[in-house]
Amino acid sequence: MQPLDWTGSLAFLNPVTMAAALALLAALLVQTVLSALAPDTPATAPTRVVAETPRALALADLAVRLLFVTLVILVLVYPMVGALLPPEQGGIIGALTRRFLPVWIALGITFALSVRYKRRLGLYGKLFDSTIGMIGFGLVMFWVFTAIFSDLIITQDVLEQVSRMKNKAPGTALPDGSGWYLLGGDHLGRDVFSRMVAGSRIVILIAPFATIFAFMVGITLGLPAGYYGGRLDSILSFLANLILAFPVILLFYLLVTPEIVQTGMPQYLAVVLFLFPIIFLLTMVNSRFRVNPPRRNLLVAVIVVLGGYVYLSLISEPDSAIAILPSAVDAISMPGNILIVFVSVVFVNAPTVFRIVRGIVMDIKTRDYVAAAQTRGERPWYIMIWEILPNARGPLIVDFCLRIGYTTILLGTLGFFGLGLSPESPDWGSTINAGRKLMTIAQHPAIVPALALMSLVLGLNLLADGLREESLRD
Amino acid sequence: MLTFLVRRTFVMLLTALCLTFVVFVLTNLPPNLEKLAKTEAGSRISDAEVESWLERNGFARPMLLRYGEWMGVVPGWRNEQDGKVTGRCIQPGQDPATAPRFCGVLQGYWGFSTFFKAPVGEKIAYHLGLTGILMFWVMVVMVPMALLIGVLAGMREGSRLDRTLSTFSIASTATPEYVSGVLLIAVFASSMFGLKWFKGTATGAMNDVTFENFALPVLTIALYGTGYIARMTRASMAEVMTSQYIRTARLKGLSFRTIVLRHALRNALIAPFTVIMLQFPWLLNGVVIVETLFSYKGFGWTLVQAAGNNDIQLLLGCSVVAVMVVLATQLISDIGYVLLNPRIRIS
């Protein structure tokens, strides 16, 4: 079979696209310089002065807009037309677009439904009023759907090594003619594209859950620290600062080593950290339904049984330091190295969340509605969870998005140093680490996961930015 | 002010004490010691031999006591075997009678690195110096760039310039060092586009810093930090620009340039100062990644080697230095904030 090139039979468009891109760059530069030199029209002035836009600037604006639209159309033509052409003519871009078909369909449905019903969806719906937020949401959902459908998307087995495909360029055909390595082969002859897609599953699974756990720990400790203040606050803040004073990498090197796994310490840490979500849910239910004992008892029982079961099966692992549940009942099996990665990421994030929650609570507790609740005779935990926390949700949601991105970066860092996850694992950090060692021979094994990680984190940051803007507008 | 300083310093020392103890415990766990015994005395020794090796080399004593020894507040261990006295404070070939009783960090003795076969203090000082050069250039590139971007974006909030620059800073905070480093090497130092402008390694920079071998590592660290500082500067600048005295200056008819340079800039730069100081712990992360990526044998590289080779004394030394750097910058940023901001008075 013929090797594929990037654009296939659409290659005749390349010069046009290049020219449009260069022209757009030039126009953007001109526009930025002109707008910086333009007479000042302060947005903050009491009465908005409608100043004349200089002719040159208006022209540059028009050029940027036209060129941008042209470029977008051109860039969209490659994947769309490429996907419809037969594989040999569609090029790599066309083939990739076809592989991602389930993701495009899912993305389309999500966006169509969300835009249609955006007025009824609260803060989530408002996201679709901001372009930045929508781009961010699109990028994030792209990777979420990629993770969900990864079994449908991958073209080769993640661990299969074809020795003749070592370090081969993107689009190289397999020797047996069964297909192509769309984004090339890595140093062991594995398919870079399939590994990148499979790696998204690891990130999308670990990063949000680790962030949720970090938030549970941070909120459960931050609420009382901010609300009561005093000695409790001093002790907790001191502990948080203790953890924060460690450079993250040093902490990882101290925590995520085979020696530490041997001592069973990650499991002991997990015993403590995984308890917090249950504590949080119990206090939440208890403070709300304290006056309605039958209902409260029912809910508490449900949480204790369900949460307890999940908790036990998370922390216990046969043949390790903690093996409470027999393996037959152990529903969630977390291998030691995944557990330690998870625990250490939670451990690193929790103190920062604690500080944020504590700060917000200290601010909100001086508000009138808190005083009203206190006068009404509400219990402290009711005030903290049902009065203060809902009013702190704006900044917390924004920070949640940013923190998932940061957690993704941390996971990549762990992989980059070969800590925790096995070197065979297709996660992005490990693949970047494996690829960087051969940068002079083949660049794509490192670049593909690097771009994937960057786009996910960028999406999360843009999403957070959009959310911040929209929640400020309330 | 003095009580504030004293209290802050006291808390800092307490934190340092706790942290060094935590690090000491984590690096001296039984599996670590067992591995050390096996690398030092041969990998095929039996469990009993491991025990006796640890016994002979003073590792079998209680953790707290050994921490005291390491700090230099408890006399170092001594062992007499076959008429030969060995001990923590007795160098090979030294007469036991002349050796000091205490030897620890407080006396300036950091231990002996098993990986480099050299005193830890010397090794750390040398590699820290190399990292110092890297950090200096990072600061020279990063701080002016970040402040400029932040001020330009914040002086007209919501303008087109602001949107362009803000997007740039968001993108730069979304690109961790191991991503931007790999991309920069691919574009500027490999055969991919044929632009071999720079070198993909910075090993040569240890002896002789040139633009060619140092530009990529410096840029890689600076890029990630720039976005964050720029966003903080932008927020602070935007806040200052909406304040009353800026409006007064506007109504007085001052030109925009004078308002920004004379009135707004000074107040807008207080918050970024703290942020820049607090960036040091983050830069330390970047340094470790970049030094590994570009094989520049500085402090971060030493830390990775120490951790990877179970070099307990060296890892302890590196950890103490890293933690002290973080704590010192926190203290400086606190003091600086008080000094710079006349609105904060500490009684």
A401 touching chain B per CB within 8 A: no
CA B230 to chain centre: 21
d(CA A399, CA A460): 10
Which one of A186, A419, A443, A444 makes the best mutation probe of the B interface by having the most chain B beta carbons within 10 Å?
Answer: A443
Q: Are A366 and A398 in contact (CB under 8 A)?
A: no
Q: What is the pLDDT of residue A157?
A: 85
For residues A441-464, give the mean pLDDT: 92
Q: What is the pLDDT of residue A208?
A: 94
Count how many Cα atoms sit within 13 Å of the Cα of residue B317 in the half-sphere of its side chain: 31
Q: Are A427 and A341 in contact (CB under 8 A)?
A: no
- B289 vs A44: CB contact, 8 Å cut-off? no
Q: What is the pLDDT of residue A45?
A: 46
Examine residue A412 and state whether it is found in any structural domain, yes or no: yes
Looking at chain B, which residue has its C-alpha nearest residue A404?
Answer: B174
Tally of CB atoms within 10 A around A4: 24
Does A86 share its domain with A199?
no
Amino acid in position B207: N
Question: Any residues with CB less than 8 A from the CB of A179 and at least 6 apart, and which?
Answer: A155, A156, A173
Q: What is the pLDDT of residues A189-226, one digit of tens each?
A: 888 899 999 999 989 989 999 999 999 999 999 999 99
Name the strand (E) or helix (H) holding A304: helix A293-315
d(CA B248, CA A261): 63
Q: What angle do CA A474, A351, A335 make, to 5 degrees?
A: 110
d(CA B111, CA B89): 9
| CA neighbor of A411 nearest in space, from A381, A452, A367 | A452
Examine residue A156 and state whether it is found in any structural domain, yes or no: no
CA A208 to chain centre: 7
d(CA B303, CA B320): 11
Task: Residue window 191-250, chain A: list those with CB within 8 Å of chain B.
Answer: 238, 241-242, 245-250
Q: What is the pLDDT of residue A170?
A: 85
CB contacts of A257 in chain B (<8 Å) are: 307
- Which of the four pLDDT bands, split at 50, 70 and 90, describes residue A303? very high
d(CA A401, CA B318): 33
At which of A99, A132, A156 does a domain end?
A99
Question: Using CB atoms, which residue from A257, A440, A457 is nearest to B174?
Answer: A457
> How do the pLDDT tens digits run along chain B, 347 residues long?
788 888 888 888 888 889 889 889 888 888 888 888 888 777 777 888 888 888 777 787 888 888 888 888 888 777 777 667 777 777 766 777 777 778 778 887 888 888 888 888 888 999 999 999 998 999 999 999 999 999 999 888 888 788 888 889 999 999 999 999 999 998 888 877 777 788 878 777 777 888 888 889 999 999 988 988 898 899 889 888 888 999 998 898 888 888 888 888 888 887 787 777 777 777 888 899 999 999 899 999 999 998 888 888 898 899 888 888 888 888 888 787 777 776 666 55
Q: What is the pLDDT of residue A3?
A: 80
Question: Any residues with CB less than 8 A from the CB of B337 and at least 6 apart, and which?
Answer: B270, B273, B274, B344
- B182 vs A248: CB contact, 8 Å cut-off? no
Question: Using CB atoms, which residue from B182, B319, B322 is nearest to A432?
Answer: B182
- A446 vs B303: CB contact, 8 Å cut-off? no
* HEC readout, B105-160: HHHCCCCEECCCCEEHHHHHHHHHHHHHHHHHHHHHHHHHHHHHHHHHHHHCCCCH
Does A211 share its domain with A89?
no
Q: What is the pLDDT of residue B346?
A: 55
Q: At what angle do helices A275-288 and A293-315 cross, to 10 degrees?
A: 180
Question: Using CB atoms, which residue from A32, A248, A405 is nearest to B174?
Answer: A405
- Which of the four pLDDT bands, split at 50, 70 and 90, describes residue A166? confident
Q: By mean pLDDT, which of A157-166, A264-273, B73-82, B105-114 is the weakest?
A: B73-82
For residues A269-296, give the mean pLDDT: 91
Identify the DSSP state of A12. G
Amino acid in position A45: A
How far does the CA of residue A143 sit from the closest CA of chain B (Å)? 15
Which one of B178, B220, B280, B330 makes the best mutation probe of the A interface by having the most chain A beta carbons within 10 Å?
Answer: B178
Identify the DSSP state of B259. I
Q: What is the pLDDT of residues A70-124, one digit of tens each?
A: 999 988 888 888 888 887 787 888 888 888 999 999 999 999 999 998 888 887 8
Does A94 share its domain with A201?
no
CA distances from B37 to B47, B68, B221, B275, B300 (A): 10, 22, 38, 44, 26
Q: What is the pLDDT of residues A355-389, one digit of tens each?
A: 999 999 998 988 999 999 999 999 999 999 999 99
Count how many Cα atoms sit within 13 Å of the Cα of residue B263 in the half-sphere of its side chain: 22
CB contacts of A440 in chain B (<8 Å) are: 190-191, 200
- A248 vs B285: CB contact, 8 Å cut-off? yes
Examine residue A109 and state whether it is found in any structural domain, yes or no: no
Examine residue A125 and state whether it is found in any structural domain, yes or no: no
CB contacts of A417 in chain B (<8 Å) are: 292, 304
Q: To which residue do tokens 């599953």 refer?
A: A201
How far does the CA of residue A436 sit from the closest CA of chain B (Å)? 7
| CA neighbor of A158 nearest in space, from A203, A184, A191 | A191
Supply the mean pLDDT for chain A.
86
Question: Any residues with CB less than 8 A from the CB of A101 and at least 6 apart, and which?
Answer: A83
Examine residue A187 and state whether it is found in any structural domain, yes or no: no
CB contacts of B311 in chain A (<8 Å) are: none
How far does the CA of residue B101 sit from the closest CA of chain A (Å)? 30
Helix (H/G/I), strand (E/B), else coil: B244? helix
Examine residue A167 and state whether it is found in any structural domain, yes or no: no
Q: What is the pLDDT of residue A51?
A: 54
A263 touching chain B per CB within 8 A: yes
The percent of residues above 70 in pLDDT, for chain A, comes to: 94
Examine residue A240 and state whether it is found in any structural domain, yes or no: yes
Q: What is the pLDDT of residue A135?
A: 92
Does A199 share its domain with A334?
yes
Examine residue A128 and state whether it is found in any structural domain, yes or no: no
What string of DSSP letters covers A404-462?
A: HHHHHHHHHHHHHTT-SS-TT---HHHHHHHHHTTTTT--HHHHHHHHHHHHHHHHHHH
How far does the CA of residue B118 sit from the closest CA of chain A (Å)? 22
Does A80 share its domain with A198?
no
Question: Using CB atoms, which residue from B15, B160, B307 is nearest to A241?
Answer: B15
Q: Are B122 and B110 in contact (CB under 8 A)?
A: no
Question: Any residues with CB less than 8 A from the CB of A392 and at least 6 apart, and which?
Answer: A357, A360, A361, A364
What string of DSSP letters covers B54-65?
A: HHHTT-SS-HHH
Helix (H/G/I), strand (E/B), else coil: B37? helix
Helix (H/G/I), strand (E/B), else coil: A173? strand
Q: At what angle do helices B270-278 and B280-293 cross, to 10 degrees?
A: 50
- Which of the four pLDDT bands, split at 50, 70 and 90, describes residue A52? low
How far does the CA of residue A457 sit from the closest CA of chain B (Å)? 5
d(CA B19, CA A26): 53
For chain A, the domain total comes to: 2
Domain extent, residue A223, equals 193-471
Which one of B17, B179, B292 makes the best mutation probe of the A interface by having the most chain A beta carbons within 10 Å?
Answer: B179
Q: By mean pLDDT, which of A174-188, A213-227, A239-253, A372-386 is the weakest?
A: A174-188
Tally of CB atoms within 10 A around A31: 22
At which of A83, A99, A115 does a domain end?
A99
Looking at chain B, which residue has its C-alpha nearest residue A239?
Answer: B15
- A432 vs B179: CB contact, 8 Å cut-off? yes
For residues A229-256, give the mean pLDDT: 88
Greater pLDDT, A271 or B53: A271
- B330 vs A245: CB contact, 8 Å cut-off? yes
d(CA B213, CA A15): 34
- A43 vs B170: CB contact, 8 Å cut-off? no
CB contacts of B259 in chain A (<8 Å) are: none
> Exposed (0-12), middle (13-18) or buried (19+): which is B102, by Cβ within 10 Å?
middle
At which of A75, A99, A123 does a domain end?
A99
Q: What is the pLDDT of residues A339-358, one digit of tens each?
A: 888 999 999 999 999 999 99
Does A269 share its domain with A400?
yes
Does A457 share its domain with A320?
yes
For residues A313-335, give the mean pLDDT: 72
- Which of the four pLDDT bands, split at 50, 70 and 90, describes residue A144? very high
Domains of chain B: residue spans and CATH: 2-118 (no CATH), 122-346 (1.10.3720.10)
Q: What is the pLDDT of residue B344?
A: 62
- A454 vs B174: CB contact, 8 Å cut-off? yes
Task: Residue window 36-65, chain A: list those with CB within 8 Å of chain B.
Answer: 36, 40, 42-45
> Exposed (0-12), middle (13-18) or buried (19+): which is B43, by Cβ within 10 Å?
exposed
A368 touching chain B per CB within 8 A: no
- B323 vs A245: CB contact, 8 Å cut-off? yes
Q: What is the pLDDT of residue A224?
A: 95
Q: Are A341 and A414 in contact (CB under 8 A)?
A: yes
Question: Using CB atoms, which residue from A42, A242, A412 is nearest to B15?
Answer: A242
Task: Residue window 126-145, chain A: list those with CB within 8 Å of chain B.
Answer: none
Helix (H/G/I), strand (E/B), else coil: B204? helix
Dig out the tokens for B336 from the structure.
Answer: 């600086």
For residues A280-307, give the mean pLDDT: 92
CB contacts of B190 in chain A (<8 Å) are: 439-440, 443
CA A332 to chain centre: 23
- B178 vs A435: CB contact, 8 Å cut-off? no
d(CA A275, CA A389): 20
- B319 vs A254: CB contact, 8 Å cut-off? yes
CA distances from B60 to B30, B51, B55, B312 (A): 10, 8, 5, 15
Dig out the tokens for B239 from the structure.
Answer: 């806040």
d(CA A455, CA B148): 26
What string of DSSP letters covers B219-235?
A: HHHHHHHHHHHHHHHHH
